[in-house]
Structure 1
Amino acid sequence: MAYEVGRTLRRPAPPEEISDWAGPSFDDVRLQNILAPQARLLALHTGTVHSEGPVWDRKSNRLLWSDVVNRRVLGWYPDGRVETMIDRTFFVNGNAFLPDGVTMVHCEHGRRCISRSGGQGDPEPWITHYQGKRLNSPNDIIVGADGAIWFSDPTFGISIPREGCLAEPELDHRSVYRFDPARHELQRMADFEQPNGLAFSPDGKLLYVSDTSRAAKGDKHEIQSFEVSAAGLSHRRVFCRVGKGIPDGFKVDKRGWIWSTADDGIHIFAPDGRELGMIPTPQTAGNCCFGGENMTRLFIAAETQLLAIDLAEPAL
Structure 2
Amino acid sequence: MLTDWFEVHDERFRALVLPNVHVERLFSDGRWLEGPVYVPAGRYLLFSDIPNNRVLRWDETDNSISTFLSPSNFANGHTLDRQGRVLACEHFSRSVTRVEHDGTLTVIADRFEGKRLNSPNDLVVADDGAVWFTDPTYGISTEYEGSRSPSEIGSRNVYRVDPHGDIAAVYTDLIQPNGLAFSPGGDELYVVDSGCEPSALYAFSVVDGAVLGDRRLICECPAGIYDGIRIDRHGHIWAGTAEGIHCLAPDGSLLGKIRLPETAANLCFGGAHRNRLFICATRSLFSVFLNTNGL
Shared fold per TM-score greater than 0.5 = yes
Residue 257 in 1 paired to residue 257 in 2? no
Tell me which residue corresponds to 2:68.
85
Question: Any gaps of 5 or more consecutive residues in structure 1?
Answer: 1-20
1:314–1:219: structure 2 CA closer, same or farther, 3 Å change rule? closer
Tell me which residue corresponds to 2:86.
104
Q: CA RMSD in A?
A: 1.7
In the TM superposition, residue 120 of structure 1 has moved relative to its aligned partner by 9.7
Check conservation: 2:47, 2:56, Cα contact below 8 A: yes
In the TM superposition, residue 237 of structure 1 has moved relative to its aligned partner by 1.1
Tell me which residue corresponds to 2:149.
167
For 1:125 and 1:312, how far apart are their aligned partners in 2? 37
Check conservation: 2:108, 2:165, Cα contact below 8 A: no
1:119–1:42: structure 2 CA closer, same or farther, 3 Å change rule? farther
Check conservation: 2:202, 2:217, Cα contact below 8 A: yes
After superposition, the C-alpha distances for 1:204-239 in whole angstroms (9 at most, x for unaligned) are 0000000011xxxx5240110001012611110111
In the TM superposition, residue 126 of structure 1 has moved relative to its aligned partner by 3.3
After superposition, the C-alpha distances for 1:115-139 in whole angstroms (9 at most, x for unaligned) are 1214896745331100000001000
Q: Which SS does the other structure have where 1:294 is aligned?
A: coil
Tell me which residue corresponds to 1:32.
14
1:121–1:305: structure 2 CA closer, same or farther, 3 Å change rule? farther
Tell me which residue corresponds to 1:17.
none
After superposition, the C-alpha distances for 1:67-106 in whole angstroms (9 at most, x for unaligned) are 11111111111220111111101100001112111x2111
1:185–1:147: structure 2 CA closer, same or farther, 3 Å change rule? same
Tell me which residue corresponds to 1:225.
203
Check conservation: 1:264, 1:280, Cα contact below 8 A: yes
Identity, in percent, stands at 39
Check conservation: 1:51, 1:65, Cα contact below 8 A: yes
After superposition, the C-alpha distances for 1:32-76 in whole angstroms (9 at most, x for unaligned) are 122124431100111111110011112111111111111111111
In the TM superposition, residue 140 of structure 1 has moved relative to its aligned partner by 0.3
Tell me which residue corresponds to 1:7.
none
For 1:93 and 1:237, how far apart are their aligned partners in 2? 27
Residue 68 in 1 paired to residue 50 in 2? yes
Number of aligned pairs?
290
Check conservation: 2:198, 2:222, Cα contact below 8 A: no
1:291 to 270, 274, 285: 270
Q: How does 1:1-316 map to 2 (within 5 A)?
A: 22-78=4-60, 79-101=62-84, 103-118=85-100, 123-181=105-163, 183-191=164-172, 192-213=174-195, 218-230=196-208, 232-316=211-295
For 2:222 and 2:143, how far apart are their aligned partners in 1? 27
Q: Which SS does the other structure have where 1:162 is aligned?
A: coil
For 2:183 and 2:16, how far apart are their aligned partners in 1? 19
Check conservation: 2:5, 2:260, Cα contact below 8 A: no
Give me the TM-score of the superposition, normalised by structure 2: 0.94
For 1:23 and 1:126, how far apart are their aligned partners in 2? 39
1:114–1:97: structure 2 CA closer, same or farther, 3 Å change rule? same
* Larger CA deviation: 110-119 vs 157-166: 110-119
Letter in 1 for 2:82: P
Check conservation: 1:259, 1:268, Cα contact below 8 A: yes
Check conservation: 1:23, 1:38, Cα contact below 8 A: no
Tell me which residue corresponds to 1:10.
none
For 1:122 and 1:306, how far apart are their aligned partners in 2? 28
For 2:56 and 2:219, how far apart are their aligned partners in 1? 31
